[in-house]
Structure 1
Amino acid sequence: MGTTPTQVLAFPNIRAIVRDNGTAEVVVAGNSRVVPAGDSVQELRNNALALIVGEAQTLQRPVRVRIEDPDGQGELIVHPDNRIESVSYDPRQTRRRAEAPETTPKIVTPALIDTVSPPAPEPVAAPAEPVPVPAPAAAADHAPASPEPQTAVVTEEAVPTRRSLKETSFLVSAPVMEPATQGWRGTLTRLGFRMNPSEEELTEREDIRTVSQHWPGPRTIAVVNRKGGANKTPTVVMLSAILARYSGAATVAWDNNESQGTLGWRTEKGSHDRSVLDLIDASTELLSPSTNAAEIAKFVHHQTADKFDVLRSDENEEGDHEVTAEEVDIAHQVLTRYYRLVVMDSGNTARAANWRRMIDHTNQLVVPVTAIEDRAEAARLTLQTLESRGGHDAELARNAVVIVSESTDAKRSMSGDALKRAKDEAQRIADGFAPFVRAVVRIPYDPALVNGPIRYEALQPATQRAWLAAAAAVAAGF
């Protein structure tokens, strides 16, 4: 099975250059490596590819390569097992020219042109010594009569014998792979036997790299499902915790329920009772250029272990206020001044003004669903609603990440058959969404997500790993 080019990292930047003077080089991240000589251009190509295969084996993954040779240029994917895939290739346009030794300028004079009979298909080789260009009068004496005498001089510069210092570097090009830290490989490494990490550990490292990146400008994630009990709030907490922990980016989880949401109930409370309405009332001051960045702490609730902040929904006893679209605009403007990442919880009404305005500000859509039929159907209808609106909404739906959690009814006391059925149902729902969205991630059942405040460290290791994969899928959309 071929590799999709977009699945292969473009780092490090690798170029293979094969010249028709019998030399070649492989340039890895600016560091030039001389290719062993060969008896033909094809043998040079093979020697260059051998170096690149070694690079792929060092990285333990496929690599992209830009190739340049006398016949053309293109892009390859080179695998550690010596498989080569062609992504693109543009042949160089051929042209007739006089042959000459590589270190000698090739000069074709009128006298030389006259020695070539018109129908001859083969070019005439130039002599070993450069042929001086005759004076115009001398050329006329020796040239046969012709209604259109050829007087052009064609020159071709030889391949330079020196390369520019800009084309090389003494820096080590390939990243040094850290030894294994997990499993029996990690145990052997700690005993003094350096072991390469397993495929599972490499995948985890790649997920960590993805969620640790920084991106230009703020990003807004909307977590939506029109059905209650679909795991929206735990999803908001987990994504916020992982992205804040690994990226170090200032992150806020915002409860954008139109009336009263539950995000504040599942997270740590600060030393005050302020909510989104208080932040909106103070927006003029918070948006003032003279306001200190620390002032935002008066309105949000910091999660001391998981390193993100929470903006709670209004919890007044009367419950007589519904957040408007204009208020969403104001709160979003304030938050994106103080935070690089905004993760929005939502209510269950896709027709509400604050819900629709949230979507207008969204960069990445996340649709959580527990593995129960009505939750899955509600998730499907949510995506269908957005897709039917077209434009930005439809693009969000197509690029969505669906997170399928095993049913919270799957208690430890369930029989083995019942647990298997719960896992099978989660897989069935995940497979059903896969053709319609960018990514689908499954999350195992974990009692730490069912009740009370949610803490990343309270999760089982398998659950933490699954949520890391989910956060990586989300961050890949940034």
Structure 2
Amino acid sequence: MIRIRMASATHAVLDAGPDDTVEVTCGQGEDLTDAVIEHLIRRARRDGTRLIAQTDDDPPTWLAVDPTGTVTPLEHAPEPIQEPVAPTSMAPAEQPAEEAEPVLATVPAEAGPPRRANPFTITEPAPRPPSTPAAPQSRPGPVGPAAPTRRSLRETTFLVPDTTTEPAGRGWRAALNALGLRIPPSAAESAEREDSRMVSQHWPGPRTVAVVNRKGGANKTPTVALLSAVLARYGGGPVLAWDNNESQGTLGWRTEQGPHTASVLDLVDSSTRLLSPETNTADLAHFVHHQPADKYDVLRSDGNDEGDHEVTAEEVDIAHQVASRFYRMIVMDSGNTARSANWRRMIDHTDQLVVPVTAMEDRAEAALLTLQTLEARGGHDAELARNAVVIVSESTDAGRGLGGDALKKARAEAQRIAEGFTPLVRAVVRVPYDPALVRGLIRYDGLRPGTRRAWLAAAAAVAQGF
């Protein structure tokens, strides 16, 4: 029996005994289960015998691997092989008295099932108890009509709830299912399916997410873009990423621009027309910038180079009223000043708070101070802080040069920061470093597979707060 333990996404340990342990690895983005199956086939061919392997899933999966390369899933754990025992002959006179006349007794239900008799032992029936005369039975009299037991029509249904689980669609399980089997998904695939289901939901009424951290460079803008991309791609409904900086934010620089230069101030100026009954969704294309691949829209901040206007609380109210009419999900970027009018009014409209932080102690401290500020204000602000989602990125200011020892240190620091925030908020999610987020346009498809999976988990944690 070989036990397969998946230590990580790229590392597995195969344990066949005290002195027989093998490690199997694969490259980033490759399927580790395929590498494990290939190793087992090579081992079966080397030994010239069938191998039995057990995965570390719950419940586990057993596989039979033949030297021919055939992999067969087993429905249950294989029974251990027992050595045959030579029968011993014994004359009837030499049998012990207590074994001469075995009797099969009836065992009460609460004492467990009866013992199965040995098919090679001749048994005699147990003595029958003395019979007692049966009591005379009275003849049944006429039976009256039964009391009506009609159920309520409202409580009756002929529909059967669907509790089936789709078979595995990835790795060696999917390959075997293609042959006509129905192997359930692994724990990792089941978790991904649940996250996908969570972010695909539609909630009654619009929802607003605020992404905040009082420190610049804390990964706020990538967080807004990627949360919007996941919610739009999986949910299939209109999603708006809104740059609510005091003056000029960077969300418009990291996303695609439409055929105009409109910003939030242009939308506010046209709010009367946009809120009229004659306006339709297509009219918003004059003010927002659509992202063709990731399916969400961007509302840019004011791009005035003079910086002579800061968005007011009243303008946030107007823009949010327009956005709530046409979008089911609003994800708001923010500046670094928690005292500004537009920052505080954004919090008033927020349903779920997200606090991004990178693997640097000053970013983590700024995130903590942001949460402390909201908690001190009490009421709705304090509730947002308690139910916040913290997203810890392994990236640092090292940018593209992050690698080797620097990457290990960043991961260790990200783990320390994540553990520090865990008892303070509702959820903490870690996302890996990805060079695609260092500069240029942010696109979900441009990320590594592991990074996309992490952002799906982050979006699911956010959606659970709705």
Q: What TM-score do the two structures reach when normalised by structure 2?
A: 0.67
Q: Which of 221, 224, 240 matches 2:228? A: 240
> Counterparts in 2 of 1:62-141, with a 5 A limit?
none
1:311 alignment partner in structure 2: 299
2:186 alignment partner in structure 1: 198
Distance in 1 between residues matched to 2:401 and 2:295, nearest whole Å? 34
2:461 alignment partner in structure 1: 473
Report % sequence identity.
Answer: 75
Give the CA deviation at 1:161.
5.4
The answer as to 2:160 corresponding to 1:172 is yes
Distance in 2 between residues matched to 1:407 and 1:446, nearest whole Å? 8
Distance in 2 between residues matched to 1:269 and 1:250, nearest whole Å? 17
> Counterparts in 2 of 1:157-306, with a 5 A limit?
163-164=151-152, 166-306=154-294
Q: Is the 8 A contact 2:399 2:438 kept in 1?
A: no
For 2:265, the aligned partner's letter is L
Question: Deviations for 1:258-284, whole angstroms, at most 9, x for unmatched residues?
Answer: 111000000000000100010000011
Question: Deviations for 1:346-373, whole angstroms, at most 9, x for unmatched residues?
Answer: 0000000000000001000000000100
Q: 1:392 to 1:129 in 2, by over 3 A?
A: farther
Give the CA deviation at 1:426.
0.3
The answer as to 2:326 corresponding to 1:325 is no
For 1:206, the aligned partner's letter is E
Give the CA deviation at 1:192.
2.9
2:376 alignment partner in structure 1: 388
For 1:475, the aligned partner's letter is A
Give the CA deviation at 1:164.
4.9
Distance in 1 between residues matched to 2:442 and 2:160, nearest whole Å? 44
The answer as to 2:425 corresponding to 1:437 is yes
RMSD between aligned residues: 2.3
1:353 alignment partner in structure 2: 341
For 1:387, the aligned partner's letter is E
Q: Is the 8 A contact 2:400 2:438 kept in 1?
A: no
Distance in 1 between residues matched to 2:377 and 2:402, nearest whole Å? 43
Distance in 2 between residues matched to 1:352 and 1:460, nearest whole Å? 37
Which segments of 5 or more consecutive residues in structure 2 lack a partner in the other structure?
Answer: 1-57, 60-139
The answer as to 2:447 corresponding to 1:463 is no
1:54 alignment partner in structure 2: none
Distance in 2 between residues matched to 1:312 and 1:444, nearest whole Å? 27
Question: Deviations for 1:424-475, whole angstroms, at most 9, x for unmatched residues?
Answer: 1101100100111000000000011110100000000000000000000000
Which segments of 5 or more consecutive residues in structure 1 lack a partner in the other structure?
Answer: 1-58, 61-127, 131-157
1:372 alignment partner in structure 2: 360
Distance in 2 between residues matched to 1:159 and 1:250, nearest whole Å? 57
- Partner secondary structure for residue 384 of structure 2: helix
Distance in 1 between residues matched to 2:324 and 2:305, nearest whole Å? 29
Q: Is the 8 A contact 1:408 1:450 kept in 2?
A: no
- Partner secondary structure for residue 342 of structure 1: strand
2:120 alignment partner in structure 1: none
For 2:271, the aligned partner's letter is S
1:103 alignment partner in structure 2: none
Q: 1:167 to 1:416 in 2, by over 3 A?
A: same
Distance in 1 between residues matched to 2:344 and 2:218, nearest whole Å? 19
For 1:218, the aligned partner's letter is P
